[in-house]
């Protein structure tokens, strides 16, 4: 294979590998060149996948079988880490090392759920009765995946759904489906037929999955707009829902923070994966007394960032992952300037092939500036200064999104106090965006419904069943 070639596997449908019914072009975002085409699933394949997924009685009942499958899946992901990472890098432009880290983290999510045990909770056990609650599987889970971290997000959903006894239909984004097809082909020999299908498709196909009468739960990660459409489409069937949606995370830098030491962390919190992280820093609020040195330290971090070939070991930031996201940023940055933002660093596409955009830093006064108001999901960060902590908290909370937020300062207790006032599912102190399998993650307000990870994540993929037994008198 030349450096740019990838093998595009077939679809995993009801236990077998099959061709799709159509295809979509796959572009290498680092070059703009075609990598081939990804097969798309048909509605007939969806029907067969759902029927097979519902006929998995042994899987539902046998926790040990599922746990050993999850262990084997984690092992095969790790054994194929570099190959999967290479495809992921080609497909969405992640620096190769970052792609390797994503694949390793995905294996960690599989391992975490492989070790999960849940005992019934006994509520009454006396002469008259025994009453306990257990967690029962929902049945067939549709897992709809975005393009920005497909391996991690798919493995997190598959692992949790499997641990709870469900079977899963994964629907990758057509913009990031190749690595997930590879994953499906790797998992196929490890799993009973039907417990996993991998069916790439567009938004209409996703909606057909949501509406399918055989599907009991939709676990979706992606944009607010698609989340709203999914909630509406799930309403007639009263489907169980887990929605992990967009964020507009604020970082509040308190007056006692050391600008130089926080700048590097803020830089990575905002620009990691070229800013395409749901819980990345999307706005920085800095106290006016340290606004100048912090802006300077951030400028230096941004100007020092090495942008380039994802396979070059020196590369810190890759391109935007697709044309659509590149165009959003290429419009939003000039729009922000026209609305009064002052450019500090970057500001332009780099030109040449591929969807590279310079890491961009702007100072902004007005919270109504599009770069502040909207989720940019790209390498452009606004810095805003504030006078009082109350003002900073109010401005950070003045959004319908509430995924994450962070507070930075030397007095940790004070920073924790401020963090607790953020209306966000995760409130970090002197860090941002840490997501681990055992730590609940999700959004307040329009950033989502439910929580992924940890025990709350497991609970959302299962039904609570009460077993109530009368004892003989």
In the chain, what is the greatest distance between 2 CA atoms, to the nearest angstrom?
A: 83
Q: Which range in 32-40, 224-232, 392-400, 409-417 contacts ligand NAD by CB under 6 A?
A: 224-232
Residues numbered 165 to 184 that lie near ligand NAD (CB under 6 A) are: 171, 173
Would you count residue 207 as binding ligand NAD (CB under 6 A)? yes
Instruction: For the chain, give the number of residues.
Output: 473
121 is catalytic: no
- 155 given a catalytic annotation: no
Is position 409 an interface residue for ligand NAD (rule: CB under 6 A)?
no
Question: What torsion, rounded to 10 degrees, do the Cα atoms 98, 323, 30, 104 define?
Answer: 20
Nearer Cβ to ligand NAD, position 141 or 210?
210
- Given the residues 244, 296, 335, 463, the one annotated as active site: 244
Closer Cβ to ligand NAD, 70 or 144, answer by number: 144
Active-site annotation holder among 132, 278, 335, 463:
278
Residue 304's contacts (CB-CB under 8 Å, 6 or more residues apart) are none
User: Which residues 277-306 are close enough to bind ligand NAD by CB under 6 A?
Assistant: 278
Burial 326-354, CB ≥16 within 10 A → b, else e: bebbbebbeebbeeebebbbbbebeeeeb
Rounded Cα distance, 391 and 396, in Å: 9
Closest CA to 357 of 382, 332, 384: 332
Q: Rounded to the nearest whole angstrom, what is the least distance from the CB of residue 458 to ligand NAD in the complex?
A: 17
Q: Does 226 bind ligand NAD (CB under 6 A)?
A: yes
CB of 68 to ligand NAD, least distance (A): 28
Per CB under 6 A, does 244 bind ligand NAD?
yes
Q: Does 105 bind ligand NAD (CB under 6 A)?
A: no
* Strand positions, DSSP E, 199-288: 217-221, 240-244, 249-253, 281-287
Q: Which residue is nearest to ligand NAD (CB)?
A: 206
Q: Which two tokens stand for residue 438?
A: 């055992």
Number of residues that bind ligand NAD (CB under 6 A): 28
> How far out from the chain centre does Cα 64 lie?
28
Binding segment for ligand NAD among 160-168, 243-251, 341-349, 462-470 (CB under 6 A)?
243-251
Is residue 221 part of the contact set for ligand NAD (CB under 6 A)? yes
In the region spanning residues 245 to 274, those forming contacts with ligand NAD, defined by CB under 6 A, are 245-247
The token duo for 399 is 């959004």
Rounded to the nearest 10 degrees, the angle between the axes of helix 389-397 and helix 412-419 is: 40
Which residue's CB is nearer to ligand NAD, number 171 or number 283?
Answer: 171
Show contacts with ligand NAD in window 139-168 (CB under 6 A). 144-149
E strand residue ranges, 111-248: 121-125, 129-137, 140-144, 167-171, 196-198, 217-221, 240-244
Shortest CB 470 distance to ligand NAD, Å: 44
Binding site for ligand NAD (CB under 6 A): 144-149, 171, 173, 202-203, 206-207, 210, 221-223, 226, 229-230, 244-247, 278, 375, 377, 403, 448
- Return the active site residues: 244, 278
């Amino acid at each position: 294979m030349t450096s740019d070639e990838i093998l595009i596997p077939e679809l995993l449908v009801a236990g077998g590998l099959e061709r799709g019914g159509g295809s979509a072009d796959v572009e290498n975002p680092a070059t703009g060149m075609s990598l081939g085409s990804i097969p798309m699933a048909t509605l007939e394949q969806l029907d067969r996948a759902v029927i097979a997924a519902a006929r998995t009685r042994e899987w539902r009942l046998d926790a040990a079988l599922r746990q050993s499958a999850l262990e084997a899946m984690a092992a095969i992901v790790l054994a194929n880490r570099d190959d999967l990472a290479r495809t992921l890098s080609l497909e969405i432009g992640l620096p190769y090392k970052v792609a390797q880290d994503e694949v390793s983290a995905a294996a960690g999510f599989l391992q975490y759920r492989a070790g999960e045990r849940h005992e019934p909770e006994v509520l009454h056990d006396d002469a008259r009765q025994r009453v306990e609650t257990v967690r029962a599987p929902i049945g067939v889970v549709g897992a709809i995946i975005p393009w920005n971290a497909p391996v991690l997000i798919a493995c997190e959903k598959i692992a949790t759904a499997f641990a709870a006894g469900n079977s899963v239909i994964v629907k990758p984004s057509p913009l990031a489906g190749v690595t997930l097809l590879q994953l499906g082909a790797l998992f196929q020999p490890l799993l009973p037929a039907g417990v996993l299908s991998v069916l790439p498709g567009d938004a209409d196909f996703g909606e057909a999955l949501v509406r399918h009468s055989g599907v009991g739960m939709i676990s979706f990660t992606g944009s607010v707009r698609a989340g709203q459409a999914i909630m509406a489409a799930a309403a007639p069937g009263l489907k169980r829902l887990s929605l992990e949606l967009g964020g507009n995370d604020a970082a509040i830098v308190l007056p006692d923070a050391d600008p130089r030491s926080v700048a590097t962390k803020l830089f990575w919190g905002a620009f990691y994966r070229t800013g395409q992280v749901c819980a990345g820093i999307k706005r920085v609020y800095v106290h006016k007394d340290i606004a100048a040195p912090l802006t300077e330290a951030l400028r230096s971090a941004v100007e020092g960032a090495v942008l380039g070939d994802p396979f070059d070991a020196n590369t810190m930031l890759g391109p935007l992952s697709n044309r659509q996201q590149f165009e959003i940023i290429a419009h939003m940055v000039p729009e922000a300037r026209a609305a009064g933002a002052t450019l500090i660093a970057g500001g332009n596409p780099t030109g040449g092939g591929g969807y590279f955009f310079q890491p961009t830093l702007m100072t902004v006064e007005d919270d109504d500036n599009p770069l502040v108001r909207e989720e940019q999901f790209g390498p452009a960060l606004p810095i805003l200064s504030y006078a009082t902590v109350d003002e900073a908290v109010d401005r950070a909370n003045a959004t319908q999104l509430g995924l994450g937020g962070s507070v930075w300062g030397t007095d940790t207790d004070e920073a924790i106090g401020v963090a607790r006032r953020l209306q966000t599912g995760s409130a970090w102190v002197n860090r941002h965006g840490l997501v681990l399998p055992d730590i609940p993650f999700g959004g307040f307000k329009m950033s989502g419904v439910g929580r992924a990870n940890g025990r709350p994540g497991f609970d959302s993929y299962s039904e609570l069943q009460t077993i109530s037994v009368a004892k003989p008198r």
